Structure 1
Amino acid sequence: MDYIVNTHRLQMEPSGSDVVLRILDENAGDRIEPLDIGPNAHRQIGTHLSIPAKYYTKMREENPDLLSTNVNSWFERSDSQRMLRVLDGRARAFLSNRYLRMDHLQIAEAVLPIISEIKDARFESCQITEDRMYIKVVNPRLQQEVVPGDIVQAGLIISNSEVGLGSVNIQPLIYRLVCSNGMVVNDAVTRRNHIGRINSAEENFQLYSAETLAADDHAFLLKVQDTVRAAVDEANFSRVVGMMQEAANAKMNTANVPEVVRLASRDFGITDEEHPGVLQHLIEGKDLTLYGLANAVTRYSQDVESYDRATDLESIGYNILSMPAKRWNSINQMAA
């Protein structure tokens, strides 16, 4: 269920060791049952009210009464209209009233018939997480060899968020057969941000799911279908394979391999907790090149529990692979 509400009709209350969210009518009664609040909605409430994230979390964990007092005071003062996305009695998103609901089902209904047209297409991985849906598909009929014995296949990844954490994305995917790694190609993407018309609480309290399939989204869904057809493009695939072949010849400074990995990790958003795992896979792969480092990152993605973070690492692997030669040389020089 989705609701458009005025913030001065919202009230946070302590409940046990946590808090709940109430939606009040003009007589201060509950319009619906009090809602549990998911982690994403908590983050969005804090952001909307300009409460620093660390302080918000500290209040929630240590003093829910204080959090409720803070939030309710700013709710009353902000007097804005927001969209609440609710599932199973829990607020999972707290969004702008212009948020355009593009749900996973809509995207799946648009893309799955097109994917079925790709002969021998293989669903390599699919997942719905708290934040996103992912569909990863490989076309085994389109493949090339990077170096002898190292074959990659073309594919695509389709992703969507229903809770305000990203637009609809369609991106090429490179699948490496040697170790079942996926690499998301970041520089070719069809994107649709979730921004639509302003919804008013005076118009409706509850937004019905049928409205999600608005006519003005039809053109975009057709574009999504066209992009899926074109995503596994032979010319683009060959271009990326060419980059891989160049990276396979970009040698690493072996005087201090751990420092090369640390510097590259820092530059590309790999955390201090993650980079030792990348280093391990680099050493095990015995390929001390830029290509080997990119593959170590995508291989490490398989060790990560979070599917969202694993997909991020597949994108980071491509970012490393495609870094300019000047930047790669600089990393090697700094590690010396």
Structure 2
Amino acid sequence: MNTQLQVKNNTNELHHILTRLENESTRKEDLIIPARNLMFHEDGFIYDRSSNKIDGYVLNEWATGQFAQKTNIPSKYFRQCPPELKAVNANHWIKELSSDEDWMLRTMRSRDGSPGVVRGIMSDKYVPFDDIEILNILDDVLAKFNKDYEIEMWNRGDTGCHLRVTFPDLTTSVGKLTNGAPDIHRVGFHMMNSEVGKSSIRITPMVYRMICTNGLMGWDTNGDVFQQRHIYLNHDEISNRVTGAIGKALKLGDNMINDLLKAKETEIENPYDVIDQIAKDNKYSQKLTGIIHESFDRERGNTAFHVVQALTLASQTLNADSRTEMERKASQVLNKLVVGL
């Protein structure tokens, strides 16, 4: 499952996304069972030894990795095993688990009667807070702000979702492009969530460069303006915190615009050396480093601004999770080169 959307729309599009999530939610089911009750069959399906709660489900890639981690089976080896050997390994190590260990299996039934999927294996203490819940809260909060907004990106896969929102009335020019046109940037925020334990709920301030849809994630020494693990969740408390987080994100986004203006005045003596050091510090591949170099060449400037934009432009070649992380790193680079944090 992977859904991507990049449109200029607002309330109607968000409601369209919510409708799709509502339809999907009818096929979801969370099952809490003793971990030692699970049994792998040679046909690749898993079953519950003591009941019919789990009857012919398969693990997706993410859940397979979680199972391997929980049973201390090397993940790469387990994935490469043929079904018969996978069943032998899994059933052996399941028996070694504690008798009082319970797991929450987050499942999805198929539409056509084919085997359902276990999409995540969580602790029984995990508190679900699904994409539809956080998006419903965002819908309510955005209505309270009474501001026009645009959805710049909606990306959803097996392990998480990303929603990027900007506000047209918070648009400003950060100098000019090489053709003399204004370099338009817009303030907004980025929300991410995972229903299967890959990440917490996060809301991060961001600045969006309209000419090339680069995103620059907000970063400060205190981290995200909103971050909540999937434990001890309360809907009303989350709603209040999200309201405050979006307000703070807009303020921080405005500060980031000022930092970008300063960055355009901050000359970098050896920008390629700076890029190479950033790549080394973050263990970027040679291929990604080359893409950053190419992106910098397209920027046609030798300032901190152009180094940062090269990073965010190169990040567009990555998947949503990696792109978001690289955009956050670009913001840290901005702070280091301009603000000195």
Q: Structure 1 residues 65, 186: CA separation in 2 closer, same or farther (over 3 Å shift)?
A: farther
2: CA distance, partners of 1:308 / 1:47: 21
Q: Structure 1 residues 123, 100: CA separation in 2 closer, same or farther (over 3 Å shift)?
A: same
Would you say the 8 A contact 1:128–1:134 is kept in 2?
Answer: yes
Q: Which residue of 1 aligns with 2:267?
A: 251
Aligned-residue offset at 1:319: 2.4
Q: Which residue of 2 aligns with 1:205?
A: none
Aligned length: 296
Q: Which residue of 2 aligns with 1:193?
A: 229
SS in 1 for 2:286: coil
Q: Structure 1 residues 290, 20: CA separation in 2 closer, same or farther (over 3 Å shift)?
A: farther
Would you say the 8 A contact 2:225–2:248 is kept in 1?
Answer: no
Aligned-residue offset at 1:252: 3.1
Task: Confirm or deny that 1:132 pairs with 2:132.
Answer: no
SS in 2 for 1:159: strand
Task: Confirm or deny that 1:100 pairs with 2:121.
Answer: no
Q: Which residue of 2 aligns with 1:178?
A: 211
Q: Structure 1 residues 237, 326: CA separation in 2 closer, same or farther (over 3 Å shift)?
A: closer
Q: Which residue of 2 aligns with 1:333?
A: none
1: CA distance, partners of 2:287 / 2:41: 36
For 1:1-336, what aligned pairs fall within 5 Å after superposition? 1-15=29-43, 19-25=44-50, 30-56=52-78, 60-79=79-98, 80-88=101-109, 89-116=116-143, 117-148=145-176, 149-187=182-220, 188-196=224-232, 216-233=234-251, 236-254=252-270, 257=272, 259-304=273-318, 306-323=319-336
Would you say the 8 A contact 1:129–1:307 is kept in 2?
Answer: no
1: CA distance, partners of 2:299 / 2:320: 23
The alignment's TM-score, normalised by the length of structure 1, stands at 0.80
1: CA distance, partners of 2:310 / 2:277: 15
| Identity value in percent | 22
Q: Structure 1 residues 51, 191: CA separation in 2 closer, same or farther (over 3 Å shift)?
A: same
Q: Which amino acid aligns with 2:190?
A: I
Would you say the 8 A contact 1:2–1:85 is kept in 2?
Answer: yes
Q: Residues 258-307 of structure 1: CA distance to partner in whole angstroms, max 9, x if unpaired? A: x5423211213533332211111111111223221211121123333x22
Gaps of 5+ in 1: 197-213, 329-336
The alignment's TM-score, normalised by the length of structure 2, stands at 0.79
Q: Residues 58-93 of structure 1: CA distance to partner in whole angstroms, max 9, x if unpaired? A: xx3244333322222221111311110001210110
Gaps of 5+ in 2: 1-28, 110-115, 177-181
125-134 or 306-315, which moves further after superposition? 306-315
SS in 1 for 2:206: strand
1: CA distance, partners of 2:262 / 2:124: 48
290-299 or 80-89, which moves further after superposition? 290-299
Q: Residues 111-135 of structure 1: CA distance to partner in whole angstroms, max 9, x if unpaired? A: 1132233422111111222211222
